[in-house]
Amino acid sequence: MRIATWNVNSIRSRIDRVTGWLERSDVDVLAIQETKCREDQFPGLELTSMGYEYVHVGLNQWNGVAVLSRVGLEDVATSFGDDQPRFGEPEVLEPRAVGATCGGVRIWSLYVPNGRELDHAHYHYKLSWLEQLRSSAAGWLRENPQAQTALAGDWNIAPEDDDVWDMAAFEGRTHVSEPERQAFRDVLEAGFSDVVRPHAPGPGVYTYWDYQQLAFPKKRGMRIDFVLGSDALAARVDGAFIDREERKGKGASDHAPVVVDLT
């Protein structure tokens, strides 16, 4: 079974890239982030015609998450708990998490808040969101220690110095601050592991490159997209890679797909 996660940065703008990649990659389950559309605007017909079921949650041109599966899609959840933090005035439950059981694996597509600036309300929202995710994920494993669970998505955190092209360029900025990195570690300590890094170690291994200032050809990237697996899932992983080639060419997302193979 092959699972993957990909921040597509607008599914409607990149549906051809997505369907083309699915045809080439032989992926069974794909977690998508930043769909940037309402549920009625999601291009589901193109995906169902390829044999994929899907669940999508989206409100407008911001955020949005989905799970595509050709191995079944059951027990859908559109938030990871009743206490999932809200943001804005008025407060809104942003579409940043959707989960489904696919081929016996519980897949969560997660789009962690960006944080914006260290002194911004969105940064505190990000930390609260991550803490609630940690609490919920720990609870799932307490209920079923043998659960095969994947927390897949755009985490908007570079947890190690090697995960950014130049730490000096990120001084005083989000994504690399110690509270964010500690929040990431807290999720790991709740019973999960980064199942991709052992197969794609750094430094210089990234999943995101800004569109500006020739960041991609200059290799000025960040590693912020991850698949964190429970122990039961991690035991099945026999390979993983970041498909950097998909960041190339016209109309590419600024993120690359992250792929995990399970026995």
Which of 80-84, 132-136, 159-163, 201-205 is the least confident region?
Answer: 80-84
pLDDT at 175 over 90: yes
At residue 89, the pLDDT reads 80
For 257, what's the count of Cα atoms within 13 Å in the CB-facing half-sphere? 25
The whole-number pLDDT of residue 82 equals 74
DSSP code at position 57: E
- CATH 3.60.10.10 fits domain 2-262: yes
Q: What pLDDT shows up at residue 190?
A: 98
Helix (H, G, I), strand (E, B) or coil at 20: helix
Tokens in use for 118?
């260290």
**Helix H segments across the chain?**
15-25, 44-48, 121-143, 178-189, 231-234
| pLDDT at site 17 | 98
Asked whether residue 54 carries a pLDDT value surpassing 90, the answer given is yes
pLDDT at 60: 87
Helix (H) or strand (E) holding 7: strand 2-7
Start-to-end CA span in the chain (Å): 7
**Residue at 129: amino acid letter:** W
Region 139-168 average pLDDT: 98
Q: What is the pLDDT of residue 214?
A: 96
Contacts of 214 (CB under 8 A, 6+ apart): none
Query: If pLDDT is split at 50, 70 and 90, which confidence band does 84 have?
Result: confident
Main-chain dihedrals φ then ψ at residue 234, nearest 5 degrees? -60, -35
pTM: 0.97
**pLDDT given at position 121:** 96
The model's pLDDT over 97-145, given as tens digits with 9 standing for 90+, comes to 999 999 999 999 999 999 999 999 999 999 999 999 999 999 999 999 9
pLDDT reported for residue 184: 98
Question: Strand 258-262 vs strand 2-7: parallel, antiparallel, or unpaired?
Answer: antiparallel
**Which pLDDT does position 81 carry in this prediction?**
79
Is pLDDT above 80 for 239? yes
Cis amide bond preceding 198, omega within 30: no
Please, what is the Cα angle at 126 between 254 and 82, to 5 degrees? 115
Is residue 8 predicted with pLDDT exceeding 80? yes
- pLDDT tens-digit map of 240-262: 999 999 999 999 999 999 999 99
Contact 251, 13 (CB under 8 A): yes
Q: Give the chain's mean pLDDT.
A: 97
Range with lowest mean pLDDT among 55-59, 91-95, 149-153, 225-229:
91-95
**Is 80 exceeded by the pLDDT of residue 92?**
yes
Contact by Cβ (8 Å): 221, 208: yes
